[in-house]
C-alpha cells in the first residue's frame, strides 16, 4: 500500500465529535507520552495521541499517577487511553473509569514485550492465550460505549 493510499484511508475519520483530517498519530510509549508530550505532539499536527500505558489494576484504585496519565490534553483530537491487564473484569472497570474521565477511545495493550508486563501475563503475553485476550476484549467492549482498539505485535 502506498503512503498516499494509507493517508487517504486514515484521513477523514470521525470519532464521536472529533474529525481526524490528517493521518498523523502519536503511538503510546510508556514513560514518554505523558500529557506535556502529547500536547506538544498535537500542537505540531498529531490529531490523535494515545496516553502512556495504564495498568488496569492501578486505574481502578485511582492512584494519583494513573489519573495523571489518563488526563486529556487540550488538543482537538480524540482522547485515547491505553490499558494493560489480564483480568477481564478489572480491565472492563478500568475502561469505564477512563471513559468517565473523558476517554473517547480505549486502546488495549496486547503488544508490550517488557518483562515486567509479560510476566504478569499482560501485553504481548496475551498473544499466547487467545481465549483470555478475547475475554478481555468482550468484557471491555460490553462495558463502554466508546470504540475499543487493540495494540498488538506479531512474531
Residues noted as catalytic: 112
* 93/16 Cα distance (integer angstroms): 21
DSSP string, 104-152: SEEEEEE----HHHHTTT-GGGGGG-HHHHHHHHHHHHHH-SS-EEEEE
Spatial distance between the Cα atoms of 51 and 77, rounded to a whole number of angstroms:
13
Amino acid at each position: 500500500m502506498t503512503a498516499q493510499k494509507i493517508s487517504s484511508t486514515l484521513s477523514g475519520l470521525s470519532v464521536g465529535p472529533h474529525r481526524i483530517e490528517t493521518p498523523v498519530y502519536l503511538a503510546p510509549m510508556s514513560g514518554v507520552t505523558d500529557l506535556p508530550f502529547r500536547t506538544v505532539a498535537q500542537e505540531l499536527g498529531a490529531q490523535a495521541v494515545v496516553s502512556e500505558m495504564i495498568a488496569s489494576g492501578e486505574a481502578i484504585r485511582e492512584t494519583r499517577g494513573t489519573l495523571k496519565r489518563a488526563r486529556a490534553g487540550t488538543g482537538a483530537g480524540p482522547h485515547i487511553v491505553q490499558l494493560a491487564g489480564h483480568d477481564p473484569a478489572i480491565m472492563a472497570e478500568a475502561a469505564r473509569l477512563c471513559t468517565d474521565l473523558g476517554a473517547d477511545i480505549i486502546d488495549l495493550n496486547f503488544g508490550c514485550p517488557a518483562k515486567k508486563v509479560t510476566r504478569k501475563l499482560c501485553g504481548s503475553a496475551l498473544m499466547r492465550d487467545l481465549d483470555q485476550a478475547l475475554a478481555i476484549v468482550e468484557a471491555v467492549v460490553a462495558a463502554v460505549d466508546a470504540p475499543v482498539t487493540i495494540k498488538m505485535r506479531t512474531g
